[in-house]
């Protein structure tokens, strides 16, 4: 799944991490806006260290898609010039 669809896998893991951190904070008694802010911050820091492989796969996939689109546009422009 990582090779073919890296973005949904990455987003699912980020969401699961955010929810997991929020549940832990809630269990510790942290509530309200503070819990949301802390969950976002803590899950972001954790994801920096744990989800690097997924983030690299997403950026590589995006880079390949952009390159293919640019090549297609360049070929279309070249064929217009002829």
**Which has the closest alpha carbon to 40: 7, 6, 15?**
15
- 81 vs 46, which has greater pLDDT? 46
What pLDDT, on the 0 to 100 scale, is given for residue 1? 52
Residues 6+ apart with CB under 8 A from 22: 35, 36, 39
Residue matched to tokens 């990455």: 10
Domain ranges of the chain: 6-81
What pLDDT, on the 0 to 100 scale, is given for residue 31? 96
Residues 6+ apart with CB under 8 A from 50: 17
**DSSP 8-state assignment for residue 64:** H
pLDDT, tens digit, for every residue of 32-66? 999 999 999 999 999 999 999 999 999 999 999 99
Six-digit token string for 60:
């590589």
């Amino acid at each position: 799944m990582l090779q073919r669809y890296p973005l949904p896998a990455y987003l699912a893991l980020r969401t699961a991490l955010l929810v997991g951190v929020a549940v832990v904070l809630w269990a510790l008694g942290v509530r309200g806006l503070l819990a949301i802010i802390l969950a976002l911050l803590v899950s972001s820091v954790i994801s920096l260290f744990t989800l690097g492989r997924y983030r690299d796969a997403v950026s590589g996939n995006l880079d390949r898609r952009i390159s293919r689109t640019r090549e297609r546009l360049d070929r279309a422009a070249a064929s217009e010039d002829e």
